[in-house]
Structure 1
Amino acid sequence: MKIQKILIAVDNSTCSEKAARTGYEIAKNYGAEVALVNIIEPVPANINPDLTLAPVFLETYDNSEENSHLLLQEIENKFSQGTKTTYLSVVDSAAHGIIQQSDEWGSDLIVIGTYGRTGLYHFLMGSVAEHVARKSACPVLIVPNKADV
């Protein structure tokens, strides 16, 4: 298996930090480049009577995009150790956005963390990691949220 491009899905959680650490370690071992992807999930838009988006929505979107970029910078600074890194940040649903960005960037591997939720919550909400693993065109490494991974 030839791994040249690793896409690491991150959010602002400890499980995504574990995924980032693992993804960068694999990249270092293979001499691969990394893309960090952060999906900005859309917030419900308030529609004005003239059918334009309310300023509140636009402000929220700008803040999210800025915060997403800051998160990606922080993850790169913490784990990259000089590995070439690309930032990908889009407004989309989590699983769809990760898969689409992976396809467009040409990933050889996706690394994603999982919260490890079970029971009713998992049944109702599903798992982004599982959805990505089922729909991805490339292999997916799911990093569990366990101590000392």
Structure 2
Amino acid sequence: MNSIGRILVPCDGSPPATKALVSALELARGRGAHVRVVHVVDGMERATGFLYSHAMLREMRIAGQLILDDAAAVCASAGIPHDTRLLDREGRRLGEAVADEAAAWGADVVVVGTHARRGLQHLVLGSGAEQILRLATVPVLVVREAMKAQRMAA
């Protein structure tokens, strides 16, 4: 794995995404790898059938930039070379936007967090990590959120 030079990390500000970012920084450390953190502005038009106003999309972009700024601060404090990108979905699914960015940037690996939802939640909400796994042309490392019982025991 020493040939890893570019690590792409999609981040939505959730605990699983933060855990994935920390894992990506650990992977980058000692390899001289560069981390690119991306946030996808996702209006979920397909899932909701609702078209968002320009004002709502502007607020989503502002919130996404704040998430990226926080992630950049984490990368900087770890001393890892990094950059951030805000990706407007433009009608594409989350997985498509991340897979396209990974290919365009020449990422060696995508590190993504997952909520590990099951049952109805998974059916209704889907899985961004699953989309990325199916669509990415580079290896994908999935970092799973700890199970509730494990968190309670800690």
Same fold (TM over 0.5): yes
Runs of 4+ in 1 over 2 A off after TM superposition: 42-46, 123-126
Gaps of 5+ in 2: none
1:74 correspondence with 2:64: no
Which amino acid letter does the alignment assign opposite residue 104 of structure 2?
E
Structure 1 residue 127: Cα displacement: 1.6
Task: Give secondary structure in 2 for the equivalent of 1:39.
Answer: strand
Q: How does 1:1-149 map to 2 (within 5 A)?
A: 1=1, 2-42=3-43, 44-45=50-51, 57-80=53-76, 81-92=78-89, 93-146=93-146
Gaps of 5+ in 1: 47-56
Q: TM-score, normalising length from structure 2?
A: 0.81
Which amino acid letter does the alignment assign opposite residue 101 of structure 2?
Q
Percent pairwise identity: 26
Task: Give secondary structure in 2 for the equivalent of 1:138.
Answer: coil
Q: Which has the larger radius of gyration?
A: 1
Q: TM-score, normalising length from structure 1?
A: 0.84
Structure 1 residue 130: Cα displacement: 1.5
Structure 1 residue 10: Cα displacement: 0.6
Q: CA RMSD in A?
A: 1.8
Which amino acid letter does the alignment assign opposite residue 20 of structure 1?
L
Change (3 A) 1:131 1:45: closer
Contact residue 4 and residue 32 of structure 1 kept, 8 A: yes
Task: Give secondary structure in 2 for the equivalent of 1:11.
Answer: coil
Q: Which moved more, 1:89-98 or 1:29-38?
A: 89-98
Structure 1 residue 79: Cα displacement: 4.0
Cα-to-partner distance string for 1:59-100 (whole Å, 9 max, x where unaligned) = 222222222111111112124422121111112131111111
How many pairs align?
138
